[in-house]
Amino acid sequence: MTNLTLTMGDITEQKADAVVNAANSSLLGGGGVDGAIHRRGGPGILEECKALRAADYAAGLPAGQAVATTAGRLPARWVIHTVGPVWSDTEDRSSTLASCYSESLRVADELGARTVAFPAISTGVYRWPLADAARIALSTVRAARTENVTEARFVLFGQEAHDVFAETLRALEQGAD
Ligand code: ADP
């Protein structure tokens, strides 16, 4: 079973086998987590992303899917890029957000990663309400079965996000008792 941990900090500083990027479909960089990963990780990550676009992902990476590249100069071995859904008031895209976590874990497991660091996917530029995103993220990772991954670490950017994730995790654990 995967051990689920929460920490506050910058995902680009995490020592983990794999760090998950809240990418966009283009795979060519953006703001938030994506911008920070490419800035800190150096040009090697973008080069591999461009190669992916030239090969299997000519139309971009669809929301809910995940793909790995090198982590460049980050203190990790791999970056797993996944594309979160943009929040919608009219359409329920929860299964796509859940898929970002389960697919990232599946890719991590295939790579042989033992530790994986996740950001709060879709809660920045894509505007997903934090508490709902936390519920989907934590319940999906808790339910996932992995062969190699022993730690899934949520890296929350600031006190508010950390508190919401901690409270949501507590509620899920109580509900499971
Ligand atoms: P999305 O486009 O999926 O919404 P963002 O990168 O805009 O992705 O934001 C996702 C979450 O990551 C937000 O909660 C944001 O505050 C947080 N975040 C931004 N930069 C970092 C970072 N360097 N490390 C960890 N989390 C970050």
pLDDT digits (tens, 9 = 90+) for 134-160: 999 999 999 999 999 999 999 999 999
> At 1, is the pLDDT very low, low, confident or very high (cuts 50, 70, 90)?
low
More confident position, 87 or 1: 87
Query: Would you say the CB of residue 85 lies under 6 angstroms from ligand 1?
Result: no
Is residue 137 within 8 Å of residue 96, measured between CB atoms?
no
Q: Ligand 1 centroid vs 119 CA: distance in angstroms?
A: 6
Residue 121 Cα: closest atom of ligand 1:
3
> At 177, is the pLDDT very low, low, confident or very high (cuts 50, 70, 90)?
low
pLDDT digits (tens, 9 = 90+) for 108-122: 999 999 999 999 999
Residue 74 pLDDT exceeds 70: yes
Q: Candidates 157, 164, 165: which one to mutate for ligand 1, based on the most atoms within 8 Å of Cβ?
A: 157
Give, using CA atoms, the residue closest to atom 21 of ligand 1: 33
Residue 43 pLDDT exceeds 70: yes
pLDDT score recorded for residue 2: 83
Average pLDDT score, the chain: 97
Catalytic residues: 34
* Per-domain boundaries in the chain: 3-176
pLDDT score recorded for residue 176: 72
Q: Ligand 1 centroid vs 11 CA: distance in angstroms?
A: 9
CATH class of this structure's domain 3-176: alpha beta
How large is the average pLDDT for residues 34-53? 98
Share of the chain above pLDDT 70, in %: 99
